[in-house]
Structure 1
Amino acid sequence: MQILLALIVGAVFGIAAHYAAPGRDTRGVAVGPVIGAIVGGVVWLIFTWAGVGIDNPWIWLVSFIAPFPIVYPILRVLGGVRRARDTRERARLRIS
């Protein structure tokens, strides 16, 4: 049940990364929170499978902090890829 906290905090960091990363207009609003929730949940899952209990502070610290440095670069790359693709598509269609 505590994994929900990791998912929620990951989604909140995803929202923060969405607004902090450039190219906000090139991606959907839910992309950042979804990626953040996935990262937080996966980190929690890995720690749980490794045998780390909820009484250990490392599971909380890493699952709460890991989403932001992971989500931010992903959103930057997505924005850049989208802009480059849009530019190529405009050139292909001869749209100014």
Structure 2
Amino acid sequence: MYILLALIAACSLSVALHFLLPQRQLRGVAVTPAVATATTAAVYTIMQWAGVVEGDVWLWVVSIGAGLALSTASTLVLTAQRTRRDALEKQALGI
């Protein structure tokens, strides 16, 4: 049941992260939170299976931290690819 708290925290923090990262008009508002929430759920579950108890602070720090780190990286990569692709399209169109 505590996994819901970790997922809500990761999703909330990543919504704020979406607005802090540059060029947010090039991506959807749900991309960053979706990646963060899915990653947090996977890491939390794997750590639970590995024997880390719910009361251990490392379960929370690692799962939420991994979700935020991966969502930040994937958002920056997605934005860079979109910027590069848009520049190539503009060049091809002669704009």
TM-score tier by shorter-chain length is 0.7 to 0.9
In 2: Cα distance, 1:80 partner to 1:64 partner: 24
> What is the deviation of 1:93?
2.8
| TM-score between the two structures when normalised by the length of structure 1 | 0.86
List 4+ stretches of structure 1 deviating above 3 A.
none
Moved more, 50-59 or 76-85: 50-59
Structure 1 stretch displaced more, 15-24 or 66-75: 66-75
5+ long unaligned stretches in structure 1: none
Q: Deviations 1:9-29 (Å, cap 9, x if unpaired)? A: 111121122112112110000
Rounded Cα–Cα distance in structure 1 between residues aligned with 2:76 and 2:55: 35
* 1:76 aligned partner: 76
Q: What is the alpha-carbon distance in structure 1 between the residues aligned to residue 14 and residue 37 of structure 2?
A: 7
| TM-score using structure 2 length | 0.87
RMSD: 1.5
Equivalent in the alignment of 2:91: 91
Unaligned runs of 5+ in 2: none
Q: CA deviation at 1:67?
A: 2.3
More displaced 10-residue stretch of structure 1: 51-60 or 39-48: 51-60
Aligned-residue offset at 1:82:
0.3
State how many pairs are aligned. 95
Q: Secondary structure at the match of 2:71?
A: helix
Q: Residue 10 of structure 1 contacts residue 38 of structure 1 at CA under 8 Å; is this kept in 2? A: no
